[in-house]
A and B are shown apart, each in its own frame.
Chain A
Amino acid sequence: MVEMTPRERVETTCKFKEPDRVPIDFGGLISTILDAGPYGYRAMAKHLGIKDYDKPAVAYILNSVANIDERMYKRLHVDFRHIFAPNAEGPITFHPDGTLTVIHGIRFKPLGNYYNPFDFPLAKATKLKDIEDYKGWANPIQPYYLEGTEKTLKNLHEKTDYSVYALCGYWGMLGHAYSFLAGFDKWLLDMVINPDFYKAMMDHILDLNLQWVDKYYSVVGDDCDVVLIGDDMGAQDGPFMPPAMFRECVKPWMKKLIAGIKKNTKAKLKLHSCGSVYQLIPDFIDAGVDILNPIQPLAKDMSPAKLKKDFGRKIVLHGGIDEQRLLAFGTKAEVIKGTKEYLRILAPGGGYIGAASHNIEPETKPEVAVAMYDTIYEFGRYPIK
């Protein structure tokens, strides 16, 4: 088969057809690499012989490296390039005790390899007035949030043939914004015990997000191929809520956010939603999701074979190569063997983008992670053998 460009490869698989090989994703916010030890980004750079790279800039929400070196992208055969919206987490205030205040007054503290939300500013909010009186809400339409990105995206889209992501950051999150502001338990509790307040919070967050996505994608919409939004909806052993409750308490807002994005771009809409979300996938599709990440194969009902059989022609599967055991603890040989097995199940017929089932955690040795990308690159050539 004739070698496709990365963008053609991604477009083909998104049409549920087989391209020349499985497209590979790495970088951006998710299914990427962290700046943390013992391995992580810096060890990967060293392993690949990449020197003099720019100091890693991270997206604090996941400690993901926002400025992956181009040599690393190339060496790992990555078909995408990810562009973060400028200051989509900010403005950020760094406090002397190491904690941060980010967008909407959300508080983070460093712990282990991640920054974690704490000290939830709306933990005690119960009334509409509490939302109105809260001073932390960020202004979504300041020029600050657009600075420079238009040119970067335009150049990337016009002068390269990579598939280009324009990431929304917090402006693509609803439930996460709620739970980072009020606490995870409260997000779920409010749905049941204080539904009027819940709806007012979701309306308010959606309204701000829609203002931002409208402004942002009306400028950059033609220059991006994929847009990422994210809201985790699953634990290891099941979705957080039954599908009927998802339809009532989450989907209406998610659907409006996606419609707001798609109004200004033909880009494919990728949703990141962790854990066991099998039961929610039909509603994700109905809400306008084109690509689903991260496909955690060890979570309940998330076996790649089941997903491929039931949804493989309806939604593009992204990720799926197990990070919880295989990449975290497997040997190089085990990772090569395991990756081939996942590819045999997920790749046939297209509709699949190869990536890790979540971020490459920093205990994964670089040679092991590289083996996964090399295996997708070599073994992921169609027809899959």
Chain B
Amino acid sequence: MVNYKELADAVVAGNVKVVTSIVDKALNAEKKSPVEIIEKGLAPGMDVIGERYAKGEAFLVDVIVAANAFKKAMEIVRPHFKATDKKTGTAVMGTVEGDIHDLGKNLVCVALEVNGFNVVDLGNDVKPSTFSSAAKSSGANIVGMSTLITTTMINLKNVIDQLVEDGIRKEVKVICGGAPVDKAYVKEIGGDLYGKNAFEGADVMKKALGVK
């Protein structure tokens, strides 16, 4: 029997060895579904870290260490997904053009996977047209973007303008984040959603799609 509590605790501790061993056993010996493993073990572990981070009880290093264990687990889990497995939605994510800082964006991608999203990660220094065409081709519900530096904040708006120009702005919710960005700025540039940190961002996106 799979001990999901132990799996969640190992994610919190960032113990890759224990996490991958439990996941491997669950998939191959116990024949558990990838969705169950995520929902009962991996996601609750990341939820604990997210809650602690929101309260100021966990630090960036704790999030990175837990996310590392989660990512290693997902490398094993991902090939077992079936096309019929239900997804929360599809999110196209990237750091805007002119900015290479992607640590926060990477953590949002992890938080989205935890919450059952299909994530299209475009990386960093992403052009507005790349955001737009990826949103189109993936049928995304969400376009998420971030920047760390004030100089490239304007490029958040450029992506939104591109989505308008390409006629898909109404098809997607746009979320922005990053150190200099706040709720008011997102509203000012015509975005929809803002997340203060990775976990809040994933939560906001879920709610925007009407998922509890």
The residues of A with any CB-CB pair to B shorter than 8 Å are 36, 109, 111-114, 116, 118, 184-185, 188-189, 191-193, 235-242, 245, 300, 323-325, 328-329, 361-363
Contact = CB atoms under 8 A, between A and B. Distances in A.
A193 B66 CA distance: 11
Contact of B61 (A36, A109, A191, A325): A191
Contacts of A239: 59-60
A189 B68 contact: yes
Contacts of B151: 36, 112-113, 361-363
B206 interface: no
Interface string B50-66: 00000010011100110
Closest 8 CB pairs of A and B: A112-B98, A116-B100, A236-B179, A328-B150, A241-B61, A188-B61, A240-B60, A324-B180
Contacts of B99: 111-112
A12 to B, nearest CB: 34
A362 B68 CA distance: 35
Contact of B179 (A109, A192, A235): A235
Interface of B: 14, 16, 56, 59-61, 64-65, 68, 97-100, 103, 125, 149-152, 179-180, 196-197
B153 to A, nearest CB: 8
Given A113-B149, A245-B59, A361-B151, 20 more contacts: A36-B151, A111-B125, A112-B151, A113-B151, A185-B68, A188-B61, A188-B65, A189-B64, A189-B68, A192-B61, A193-B16, A193-B68, A235-B60, A236-B179, A237-B196, A237-B197, A242-B59, A300-B56, A324-B179, A324-B180
24 contacts: A111-B99, A111-B125, A112-B98, A112-B149, A113-B149, A116-B100, A118-B100, A185-B68, A188-B61, A189-B65, A189-B68, A191-B61, A193-B14, A235-B179, A239-B59, A240-B61, A242-B59, A242-B61, A245-B59, A245-B61, A324-B180, A361-B150, A361-B151, A363-B150
Contacts of A324: 150, 179-180
Contacts of B97: 112
Contacts of A188: 60-61, 64-65
A199 B113 CA distance: 33
A240 B152 CA distance: 23
B158 to A, nearest CB: 13
A91 to B, nearest CB: 24
Nearest to A364: B150
Contact of B59 (A112, A241, A362): A241
B66 to A, nearest CB: 10
User: Which one of A111, A116, A328 has the greatest number of beta carbons of chain B within 10 Å?
Assistant: A111
Contacts of A241: 59-61
A364 B80 CA distance: 51
Nearest to A325: B180
Nearest to A323: B150
User: Which one of B56, B100, B150 has the greatest number of beta carbons of chain A within 10 Å?
Assistant: B150
A192 B180 CA distance: 29
Given A113-B151, A323-B150, A185 B64 contact: yes
Contacts of A184: 103
B164 to A, nearest CB: 23
B45 to A, nearest CB: 15
A98 to B, nearest CB: 13
Given A111-B99, A112-B98, A240 B150 contact: no
A241 B64 CA distance: 11
A328 B196 CA distance: 20
Nearest to B179: A236
Contacts of A189: 64-65, 68
Contacts of A235: 60, 179
A184 B60 CA distance: 11
User: Which one of A112, A300, A361 has the greatest number of beta carbons of chain B within 10 Å?
Assistant: A112
A236 to B, nearest CB: 4
B118 to A, nearest CB: 23
A361 B152 CA distance: 10
Contacts of A362: 151
Nearest to B180: A324
B51 to A, nearest CB: 14
A71 B128 CA distance: 41
A235 B198 CA distance: 13
A361 B60 contact: no
